[in-house]
Amino acid sequence: MTHTVQVSAALPGAYPTITDAVQQAPDGSAIMVAPGEYHENLTLNGRRVSIVASGGSGTVTLVARNPAAPVFDCRQSTVELADLVLQGADEPTVSATGGSITMRDCVVSAGPAAAVRVSSRGRFELTRCKVSQAHVGLYLDNCAGTVTDCQITNVVEDGVIIRSADPVLRNCTITDCGYRGVYIYEYSRPTVENCEVARVGEVGIAVAQQSAPVLRGCWVHDARGVGISLGVDCGGELVDCRTESTASPGVLVPPGSRAEVTTSDRRRRAQIGASERAGAADDGKVDRLLAELDALIGLPGVKREVRAIVDEIQVNEWRRSGGLTVAPTTNHMIFAGAPGTGKTTVARLFGQLLSALGVLPQGAVKEVARRDLVGQYLGHTAEKTNAAFESALGGVLFIDEAYTLSRSTGSADFGQEAIDTLVKLMEDHRHEVAVIVAGYTDEMHQFLDANPGLASRFNKTIEFENYTGEELAQIFTSMAESNEYAITEAVRHGLVRYFGERMGDRNFGNGREARKLFESMRKTQAQRLRQLRRMPTAEELQLLLPEDLEEATRA
């Protein structure tokens, strides 16, 4: 069992500083840090420890006490950092030399240095981190690991530097860099997938010194230099990458380069029509995804509808293989229902199902809203809508609160232009993308009325019913268990009653309400435990009580 220690200036028995806790706690400890601002520099040599903000994301800020040292200097250690705000100065805010470092939901800034530096064969995993106000965002030197769903912005020089390293960058946004977005050099072999690089002072992605990256599905735009530049001695692959509003050429591959630039055959597939499949079905993966769908709490009607669609797709494939005709169809759908009813979750599963069934080449879901489609001047909207649509080709384009496109916000509103552009794109590429629009049921009817051809583009509407009070209590319990909390039977009954009373509210958020209440109860529990004037037991740290529910739901 993980040994847990507390850091709090106010809680009796807790360590007053993170440094004290690190020095005293045994290896393998989880250090839970109470909300507040801490001025410290921590050096970890050969340690194994996790440091987590007990109050959740953004509640704990660490500032470098000594500006000439990192906030975290990890040497041959196994370190996990979660939900922390880290502010460095003249040295890298987080420095990992060898060992392994995991960072989740952290916000990192620095002075004239890198925000995060990993070197000397270190391994790393950065997930949902935000990096800004640094000289360099990430410096990955002779190391390996993954950077997933991270944002790197407002950087003086390079957003990401990769030197003699083989990392994977996936679904990241790198913007507003004074020099390059990504610089890859000295024999590096990284994979960069579905990343956006924008508003940089020089080259978007620069590759040099015999490196051979795999760049797949990347979008580089608004760069003063060329979008993607490869050195003459470099190799690698560029697959379905796009450049817009960059210096010419958008992609520079000089004579002598070994790099291969390819695009998928999506457009050819659209021209051939429905008889051409994206690939063979993976029955095992289909079964696993359907089991994952069945494991979702509630949504019985949605599950039936999705299974019916899967059955139809499979039967149509049997008819094709038997030489029988198949009626032309599209995969565009409407998800109608209130917020928080699982529409985005099901859309992601549905995209994977279409890929597993061989209908689409990939199961990725591009999630957009009005702001991603509607511009500020004539012609800008069509450009933005086309860009969003093209980035989803081969997968799913999910438009949340789509009805807002048909709502005018003033005399110069271009939502209608976005709708008209979508109608044409959905027809031209109906076999290479699935468009799912989501929103309130009544408002979606108004959305469909915005263009005479819009309703005919959608094959089916799936209604997402509101969760019951019992189902929301189950969702809450699942969240609690996944975060190592537990509830009493009295709390469960209280949750059912509370959710049942709230469901009549027009703005009730369903699953989002469960998440919001869980976060509130965590805070009320923390406040209650601080009043004990002693170190809580492991059971006390996990248990949420009726008084926590009462305090969290008090008007």
pLDDT confidence bin for 280, thresholds 50/70/90 = low
Q: How far apart are CA 394 and CA 193, in angstroms?
A: 14
- What pLDDT shows up at residue 59? 94
**Least confident residue range of 89-103, 256-270, 540-554:** 256-270
CATH no. for 270-464:
3.40.50.300
- Whether residue 13 is predicted with pLDDT greater than 90 in this model: the reply is no
- What pLDDT shows up at residue 21? 94
List CB contacts of 247: < 8 A, sequence separation 6 or more: 223, 224, 225, 226, 227
pLDDT confidence bin for 266, thresholds 50/70/90 = very low
pLDDT confidence bin for 413, thresholds 50/70/90 = low
- Whether residue 545 is predicted with pLDDT greater than 60 in this model: the reply is yes
Paired sense of beta strands 168-170 and 144-148, if any: parallel
Q: How far apart are CA 85 and CA 106, in angstroms?
A: 6
- Whether residue 1 is predicted with pLDDT greater than 90 in this model: the reply is no
Q: At what angle do helices 283-294 and 300-321 cross, to 10 degrees?
A: 170
- Whether residue 412 is predicted with pLDDT greater than 70 in this model: the reply is no
**Considering the chain, what is the average pLDDT of its residues?**
86
Structure-model confidence comparison of residues 551 and 64, the more confident one: 64
List where CATH 3.40.50.300 sits in the chain: 270-464
pLDDT confidence bin for 115, thresholds 50/70/90 = very high
pLDDT confidence bin for 270, thresholds 50/70/90 = very low
- What pLDDT shows up at residue 507? 66
Rounded to two decimals, what is the model's pTM? Answer: 0.51
List CB contacts of 244: < 8 A, sequence separation 6 or more: 219, 220, 221, 222, 227, 250, 387
List where CATH 2.160.20.10 sits in the chain: 4-266
List where CATH 1.10.8.60 sits in the chain: 469-552
- What pLDDT shows up at residue 275? 32
- Whether residue 62 is predicted with pLDDT greater than 70 in this model: the reply is yes
Share of the chain above pLDDT 70, in %: 92
pLDDT 10s digits, 193-248: 999 999 999 999 999 988 999 999 999 999 999 999 998 888 999 999 999 999 88
Given the candidates 3.40.140.10, 3.40.50.1000, 3.20.20.70, 2.160.20.10, the CATH classification of the domain at 4-266 is 2.160.20.10
Phi–psi pair at 365, nearest 5 degrees: -115, 120
Q: Please list the residues that pair with 437 across neighbouring strands.
A: 334, 399
CATH no. for 469-552:
1.10.8.60
Average pLDDT for 151-169: 95
- What pLDDT shows up at residue 47? 94
HEC readout, 370-419:
HHHHCCCCCCHHHHHHHHHHHHHCCCEEEECCHHHHHCCCCCCCCHHHHH
Average pLDDT for 454-480: 86
pLDDT confidence bin for 407, thresholds 50/70/90 = low
Token reading at 93: 């805010």
- What pLDDT shows up at residue 418? 85
**Cβ distance 518 to 552 under 8 Å?**
no
Closest CA to 402 of 412, 413, 416: 416
- Whether residue 52 is predicted with pLDDT greater than 90 in this model: the reply is yes
